[in-house]
């Protein structure tokens, strides 16, 4: 084994403590999300997360102290990613686009993603474990409360015209959430996929009709 120290730089370069921490934290959160998707809340054990992350058992506890705190951090992470993605894609929409179709599509890309199953698992866990109270998660609240402003920015004139605009936004979320729930929990097949596509198409038509400037009554 000849040593060639200076010419071949070590692949694992020298990292600061903060970088080391951040890296293992990210790996743990990724693994936690993956476990939630694959094995559910009960199956997301500390050992399973460690194994998937390639990190020692003690290290997980060093960073998060307890399983519950790890799962809280997981919820924050997965929400943050989803929200970031949604906001980014909505802001990137060209002005003239069919924004209603695009809004539904972007929301579906979030609620139809595998990560939504992780969110579902954590929602239910939080509903049972009182110590995982909903109020503990600012990212989740930001998502919930940021929707209407986001939609108002997309459709300023519709928001001004329709008095129940925020109710319409709620309706949109219910539809996408309902589809996401089915998508996450039922085995997908050709039929269900087709029905979902038709449902989204129909709903877009309903929205277009509701959001368009009222035709003069004849």
Partner DNA sequence: ATATACAATTAGTCTATACTCATTGTTTAT
Partner DNA sequence: ATAAACAATGAGTATAGACTAATTGTATAT
CB of 107 to DNA, least distance (A): 33
User: Which of the listed partners (DNA, a second copy, none) does 204 bind, with a CB threshold of 5 to 8 Å by partner kind?
Assistant: none
The contacts of residue 120 (CB under 8 Å, 6+ apart) are: 181, 184, 185
Q: Pick from 30, 89, 105, 173: which binds a second copy (CB under 8 A)?
A: 173
- Pick between residue 23 and residue 149 the one whose CB is nearest to a second copy: 149
Residues making contact with DNA (CB under 7 A): 14-18, 20-21, 23-24, 43, 45-48, 55-59, 61-63, 65-68
- Pick between residue 68 and residue 145 the one whose CB is nearest to DNA: 68
- Pick between residue 24 and residue 183 the one whose CB is nearest to DNA: 24
Give 145-197 as a 3 state SS string. Answer: HHHHHHHHHHCHHHHHHCCCHHHHHHHHHHHHHHHHHHHHHCCCCHHHHHHHH
Instruction: Please give the size of the binding site for a second copy, defined by CB under 8 A.
Output: 46
- Pick between residue 57 and residue 201 the one whose CB is nearest to DNA: 57
CB 154 within 8 A of CB 90: yes
- Residue 62 — φ and ψ, nearest 5°? -60, -40
CB of 63 to DNA, least distance (A): 6
Give 44-59 as a 3 state SS string. Answer: CCHHHHHHHHCCCHHH
CB of 83 to DNA, least distance (A): 26
The contacts of residue 42 (CB under 8 Å, 6+ apart) are: none
CB 71 within 8 A of CB 128: no
In whole angstroms, what is the distance from residue 188 CA to residue 43 CA?
22
Contact set with a second copy (CB under 8 A): 38-43, 117, 120-121, 123-129, 133-134, 164, 166-168, 170-171, 173-179, 181-182, 184-187, 195-196, 198-199, 202-203, 206, 210, 218
């Amino acid at each position: 084994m000849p040593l060639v120290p200076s010419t071949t730089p070590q692949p694992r370069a020298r990292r600061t403590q903060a970088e080391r921490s951040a890296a293992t934290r990210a790996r743990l959160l990724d693994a936690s999300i993956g476990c939630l998707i694959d094995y559910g809340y009960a199956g997301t054990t500390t050992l399973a997360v460690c194994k998937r992350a390639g990190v020692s058992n003690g290290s997980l506890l060093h960073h998060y102290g307890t399983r519950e705190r790890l799962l809280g951090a997981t919820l924050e992470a997965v929400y943050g990613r989803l929200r970031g993605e949604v906001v980014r894609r909505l802001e990137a929409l060209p002005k003239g686009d069919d924004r209603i179709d695009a809004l539904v599509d972007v929301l579906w890309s979030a609620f139809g993603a595998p990560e939504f199953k992780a969110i579902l698992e954590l929602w239910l866990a939080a509903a049972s474990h009182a110590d995982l109270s909903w109020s503990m998660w600012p990212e989740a609240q930001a998502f919930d409360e940021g929707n209407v402003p986001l939609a108002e920015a997309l459709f300023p004139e519709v928001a001004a015209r329709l008095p129940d605009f925020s109710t319409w936004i709620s309706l949109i979320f219910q539809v996408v959430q309902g589809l996401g729930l089915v998508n996450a929990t039922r085995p997908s097949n050709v039929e269900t996929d087709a029905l979902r596509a038709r449902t989204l198409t129909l709903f877009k038509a309903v929205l277009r009709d509701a959001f368009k400037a009222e035709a003069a009554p004849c």
